[in-house]
Structure 1
Amino acid sequence: MTQSQPTIADTKPILIDLEPGTYYWCSCGESSKQPFCDGSHSGTEFAPLKIEIDEAKKEALCQCKYTKNPPFCDGSHSQLS
């Protein structure tokens, strides 16, 4: 089965302050709560990625959904047309 392509939520990452805790990164691109999951993937082959944060930090989270290092931005958005 070929996986569908994710929707590009934005062509740049979001720089976000994360507090310790558990987060679920949206992998489908359809969430209205980007970059986090709101359940919009329901009924698709996409699933959110669980992120465990141990200490408060600022991170650049991918919103194009094509990163090779999810959920973190790796610059893949610069290759999208």
Structure 2
Amino acid sequence: MSHADVQRAGDLPAKVDLTEGETYGWCACGRSSKQPFCDGSHQGTGLDPVVFVARKTETVFLCQCKQTGTPPLCDGSHSQ
């Protein structure tokens, strides 16, 4: 699957509260019904979620257009 086959899940980033030390799986394919997080819908796509551990408790903006250059964080790509 190419980057062009990724589904856009939204036009704006998702504001998310992360908890320090918790593990998260950001949906990279755009198919998850639990955006911006993975629900396993990527199976068979050749794409895997971006798994990360929150370094601190904070509010972040996670990409939903799936075009970010800084996954899972939004870099403004949705506005281009």
Query: When the two structures are superposed, what TM-score results if normalisation uses the length of structure 1?
Result: 0.91
5 Å matches for 1:1-80? 3=2, 4-20=4-20, 21-79=22-80
Q: CA RMSD in A?
A: 1.1
Q: Deviations over 1:30-65 (max 9, x none)?
A: 000000000000011110001110221000000000
What is the percentage of aligned positions where both structures have the same residue?
Answer: 50
User: Unpaired runs of 5+ in structure 1?
Assistant: none
User: Unpaired runs of 5+ in structure 2?
Assistant: none
Runs (4+) off by over 6 Å: none
Q: Distance in 1 between matches of 2:55 and 2:73?
A: 16
Query: When the two structures are superposed, what TM-score results if normalisation uses the length of structure 2?
Result: 0.92
Q: Distance in 2 between matches of 1:11 and 1:29?
A: 12
